[in-house]
Chain A
Amino acid sequence: MSPASVFVCLSLTLLSDYPVIRVKPDNSGVVTDGVKHSMNPFCEIAVEEAVKLKEKKFIKEVVAVSCGPTQVTETIRTALAMGCDRGIHVEVSGKDYEAMGPLQIAKIFAALAKKEEASLVILGKQAIDDDCNQTGQMTAALLDWPQGTFASEVTIDGEKVKVVREIDGGLETIKISMPAVLTADLRLNTPRYATLPNIMKAKKKKIANMKPADLGVDMVSRVEVLRVDEPPTRLAGVKVETVDDLVAKLKANGTI
């Protein structure tokens, strides 16, 4: 029996690879105003996998979900342009958004997955701005569903899912029963471009709007950010001519 719907849970991140990130003058966080935000690259891979599964007829419907302020709807539109059928925007803004962490997000996704009777929840393995790598695992635990994380290959086999996971020692293949949570790793696929005609068509697809309270989730955070600092500036290295010089310098600064 083919699964009914697949949830792809998206994260809107600061595109921390390329723009210049500055710490706020009061060290409370980083400056986010005016910095380009877009879909987390691992979430793009997750969307691509879900759309591929739908194209192979393993699943009927792909729903893109994201939590955050209004900006997030653009990310959901991109997911819709890549092939998702509909979107859900869970509105979180202001102080709640700044305090929002993996646990709150996992609670929201878990509540939605139960409400919409999803068979698969696919997420990116981690967000590139905070590198937490926790949301997928927490969602699975809250739902008490099996999880296939760091997936580099996903195959649906009847009622089960075969997942090849990238682990430190190599590749691990596991079989888990559905409903399940998967998190996408880099080599799972190459995401397609969201082309302009698809962006235009996506404007007609539905994005439902709701608040965490509608799902019975409380957004209180148990984590408080005390301070954010820039990494220390790298000191210049010193070149020495001979091994004796090297030993002398190491002795002088107390290393040996």
Chain B
Amino acid sequence: MFPASRYSIQAQRCIRALKTVQAEHAPPQHYTWRRNCSSAVMPRITSHYTIFPRDKDPRWEGVEMERFADEADVVIVGGGPAGLSAAIRLKQLAKEQEKELRVCLVEKASQIGAHTLSGACLEPSALNELFPDWKERGAPLNTPVTEDLFSILTEKYRIPVPMLPGLPMNNHGNYIVRLGHFVHWLGEQAEELGVEIYPGYAAAEVLFHEDGSVKGIATNDVGIAKDGSPKDVFERGMELHAKVTLFGEGCHGHLAKQLYRQFNLRENCEPQTYAIGLKELWVIDEKKWRPGRVEHSVGWPLNRNTYGGSFLYHLNEGEPLVALGFVVGLDYTNPYLSPFREFQRWKHHPFVAKTLEGGDRIAYGARALNEGGYQCLPKVTFPGGMLIGCSPGFMNVPKIKGTHTAMKSGMLAAEAIFPKVTAEDPASKTAGLHIPEYEDNLKKSWIWKELYAVRNIRPSFHNYFGLYGGMVYTGVFYWILRGKEPWTLKHAGLDSAQLKPAKECTPIEYPKPDGKLSFDLLSSVALSGTNHEGDQPPHLTLKDDSIPVANNLAIYDGPEQRFCPAGVYEYVPLETGEGMRLQINAQNCVHCKTCDIKDPSQNINWVVPEGSGGPAYNGL
């Protein structure tokens, strides 16, 4: 019934065969250009210390590795809606009950909001709970939704679908926001309440007590050269210890990935499934501007078996600005598919082009998002810490909203933590506090009810009729039964296992960008404002440098060249002339995490680069 799984078994056999070839890594100081496991002379790609530990590396002998450590009551990783809401709620409770609480928040972006990207139609439910007076405080919710359109697109035409009340996509009562600005505002509120916010410092390592509970985090080291050796300006990161550490890294966080393994948090849930969202901001012709209008579409240019769709929101913030974007489910099977190019060609559809004609593109960005919902929720508490926000993944997929649930999860975490962290005697079995009450609170909250009600909509797309089957299911079961049906459908499995080998698929002919509506990848990446310190080890680490050419290129024709929205991965001819090698342009990375998710060999491990590197989104 699922043809994809038949091919994924073949792919998995290939991966297993390659894994048995245990590569003996040449000691770093030789820096030879030869790998033992392949016959081609392949230049070394990965030099990060997570793959080549420094205690075995002679270049690091004698380097001072002591770290300065500091204590806080709560440390929060990630300055997004979840992390900031948790911090704010903790400080609000501290103020109410006149208790002292040190809350530290670290964020890898150079300023709060710079790595935030979302549509976004904000449902103000969680915000109303957090700050009932948000309007007086100047929260940037300036565009109430006035019109809601849904279409099925064909190559030339548009089939309107009525937006009946009760359908998950109905946006009455919501606001179109520039989430980066909203998050920046949340950051200001948090600082006013006394939260210590440290942007530009990434949490690079989870620290553990001797009893295995989480002790806190360590921020990234700085001053490591591209080949992995220490520079003159090398400085160790800092350790932040806490009674509880909250991890709000957003979709597919790299520390969360470690925690899932460490504490076996995913043993009773399905593997998470994702999508990639690409977004642009356009200043359009005033005559075409309809502030408050929300447009969504499905269908063209995707075929019925590839999940995805578009959004186009008219903002009302002074100038005629529209936020538009395209989402493609990462369970797609054709390795020739390029989400970026699907996005660019969608803009040429007559219904979309007429809004954008004569306009100017002013921003671009991309980020992965969760599609798994209820079935993919892991355990969210463990000794010493908890997961909040899109990291475990509370996004309501058919509504395409996750901000309100992320904020609520942060608030619930804060409410569960506060009594424990301020208690005289924490009464905990482990040094890091284990607070299972957070998970209980989640299950009793509206987040759980909401996610349960829509749990079957996304998996309903896995049928022969694809998109149309899914829409029928939504119309029949969701609209009538509200998710009360007694069964729970399953997803298709790991996204990385869904690709079919290239020889079984047809390459897609994408039109060339015309420079007015559609654009090429590199000029788009320039608009994201992304940059990283050049002389640092690439943060897109490969467990085995030889696998990209041997597996990804050989079997799947290098899908990472196509799914990366920033042009990080390129297969270039070897200098010797024969064969190809993978070139990683780490400086282009926009921190979307798609490669870590979709790599069919699961060989790419995204780790955090030096803090303040990455995109410079302004209100995206």
Contact of A25 among B184, B223, B319, B531 (CB under 8 A): B319
A190-B233, A193-B222 given; A18·B238 CB < 8 A: no
Contact of A22 among B198, B201, B362, B616 (CB under 8 A): B362
Q: How far, in whole Å, are A44 and B563 apart by their CA atoms in the complex?
A: 38
Contact: B235 with A195, CB < 8 Å? yes
**Per-residue B-contact encoding for A1-43, CB less than 8 Å = 1, 0 else:** 0000000000000010111101001000000001110100000
Q: How far, in whole Å, are A196 and B363 apart by their CA atoms in the complex?
A: 31
The closest CB in chain B to the CB of A48 belongs to B233
Asked if B219 is an interface residue, CB under 8 A from chain A, the answer is: yes
Contact: B238 with A197, CB < 8 Å? yes
Q: How far, in whole Å, are A200 and B196 apart by their CA atoms in the complex?
A: 10
The closest CB in chain B to the CB of A193 belongs to B222
A199 contacts across to B, CB distance below 8 A:
198
Asked if B529 is an interface residue, CB under 8 A from chain A, the answer is: yes
Interface residues of A in 220-240 (CB under 8 A from B): none
A60 contacts across to B, CB distance below 8 A:
none
Contact: A19 with B222, CB < 8 Å? no
Interface residues of B in 434-484 (CB under 8 A from A): none
Contact: B616 with A18, CB < 8 Å? yes
Contact: B201 with A193, CB < 8 Å? no
Asked if B527 is an interface residue, CB under 8 A from chain A, the answer is: yes
Q: Which of A35, A190, A197 has the most CB of B within 10 A?
A: A197
Interface residues of B in 513-565 (CB under 8 A from A): 526-527, 529-531
Contact: A20 with B363, CB < 8 Å? yes
Contact: A38 with B110, CB < 8 Å? yes
B238 contacts across to A, CB distance below 8 A:
195-197
Q: How far, in whole Å, are A112 and B235 apart by their CA atoms in the complex?
A: 34
A34-B184, A34-B618, A193-B233 given; A20·B529 CB < 8 A: yes
Interface residues of B in 172-187 (CB under 8 A from A): 180-181, 184
Q: How far, in whole Å, are A244 and B397 apart by their CA atoms in the complex?
A: 62
Interface residues of B in 187-235 (CB under 8 A from A): 198, 201, 219, 222-223, 232-233, 235
A20 contacts across to B, CB distance below 8 A:
362-363, 526-527, 529, 616, 618
Contact: A197 with B618, CB < 8 Å? no
Asked if B70 is an interface residue, CB under 8 A from chain A, the answer is: yes
Q: How far, in whole Å, are A19 and B619 apart by their CA atoms in the complex?
A: 12
Asked if A205 is an interface residue, CB under 8 A from chain B, the answer is: no
Q: Which of A34, A38, A200 has the most CB of B within 10 A?
A: A34
Asked if B31 is an interface residue, CB under 8 A from chain A, the answer is: no
A197 contacts across to B, CB distance below 8 A:
68, 70, 238
Contact: B531 with A18, CB < 8 Å? yes
CB of A205 to closest CB in B, whole Å: 16
Q: How far, in whole Å, are A18 and B201 apart by their CA atoms in the complex?
A: 19
CB of A67 to closest CB in B, whole Å: 21
Asked if B305 is an interface residue, CB under 8 A from chain A, the answer is: no
Contact: B531 with A17, CB < 8 Å? yes
Contact: A192 with B233, CB < 8 Å? yes
A25 contacts across to B, CB distance below 8 A:
319
Q: How far, in whole Å, are A25 and B320 apart by their CA atoms in the complex?
A: 11
Give the interface residue-count category, chain B: 20 to 34
Asked if B383 is an interface residue, CB under 8 A from chain A, the answer is: no
A193-B235, A195-B235 given; A200·B362 CB < 8 A: no
Chain A interface main SS type: loop
A36 contacts across to B, CB distance below 8 A:
110-111, 114, 616, 618
**Per-residue B-contact encoding for A171-214, CB less than 8 Å = 1, 0 else:** 00000000000000000001111011101100000000000000
CB of A92 to closest CB in B, whole Å: 22
Q: Which of B70, B111, B201, B362 has the most CB of A within 10 A?
A: B111
Q: How far, in whole Å, are A195 and B235 apart by their CA atoms in the complex?
A: 7
Residues of A in contact (CB 8 Å), total 20
B319 contacts across to A, CB distance below 8 A:
25
Q: How far, in whole Å, are A200 and B219 apart by their CA atoms in the complex?
A: 14
A17 contacts across to B, CB distance below 8 A:
531
A35 contacts across to B, CB distance below 8 A:
616, 618
**Per-residue A-contact encoding for B232-268, CB less than 8 Å = 1, 0 else:** 1101011000000000000000000000000000000
Contact: A196 with B219, CB < 8 Å? yes
The closest CB in chain B to the CB of A197 belongs to B68
CB of A13 to closest CB in B, whole Å: 14
The closest CB in chain A to the CB of B364 belongs to A20
Interface residues of A in 148-166 (CB under 8 A from B): none
CB of B375 to closest CB in A, whole Å: 38
Interface residues of A in 65-118 (CB under 8 A from B): none
The closest CB in chain A to the CB of B68 belongs to A197
Contact: A196 with B110, CB < 8 Å? no
Contact of B198 among A18, A34, A196 (CB under 8 A): A196
CB of A176 to closest CB in B, whole Å: 29
Interface residues of B in 50-79 (CB under 8 A from A): 68, 70
Q: Which of A17, A196, A200 has the most CB of B within 10 A?
A: A196
The closest CB in chain B to the CB of A17 belongs to B531
CB of A78 to closest CB in B, whole Å: 9
CB of B479 to closest CB in A, whole Å: 40
Q: How far, in whole Å, are A34 and B180 apart by their CA atoms in the complex?
A: 9
CB of A171 to closest CB in B, whole Å: 23
Contact: A18 with B529, CB < 8 Å? yes
Q: How far, in whole Å, are A200 and B69 apart by their CA atoms in the complex?
A: 12
**Per-residue A-contact encoding for B29-62, CB less than 8 Å = 1, 0 else:** 0000000000000000000000000000000000
B residues lining the A interface (CB < 8 Å): 68, 70, 110-111, 113-114, 180-181, 184, 198, 201, 219, 222-223, 232-233, 235, 237-238, 319, 362-363, 526-527, 529-531, 616, 618-619
20 A–B pairs (Cβ distance < 8 Å), ordered by A: A18-B530, A18-B531, A20-B362, A20-B363, A20-B526, A20-B527, A25-B319, A34-B618, A34-B619, A35-B618, A36-B110, A36-B114, A190-B233, A192-B233, A193-B233, A193-B235, A195-B237, A196-B198, A197-B68, A197-B238
List 12 additional contacts besides A36-B111, A192-B233; criterion CB under 8 Å: A18-B531, A18-B616, A20-B526, A20-B529, A20-B618, A34-B180, A34-B184, A191-B233, A192-B235, A193-B223, A196-B237, A197-B238
3 A-B pairs with least C-beta separation: A19-B529, A19-B616, A197-B68
A residues lining the B interface (CB < 8 Å): 15, 17-20, 22, 25, 34-36, 38, 190-193, 195-197, 199-200
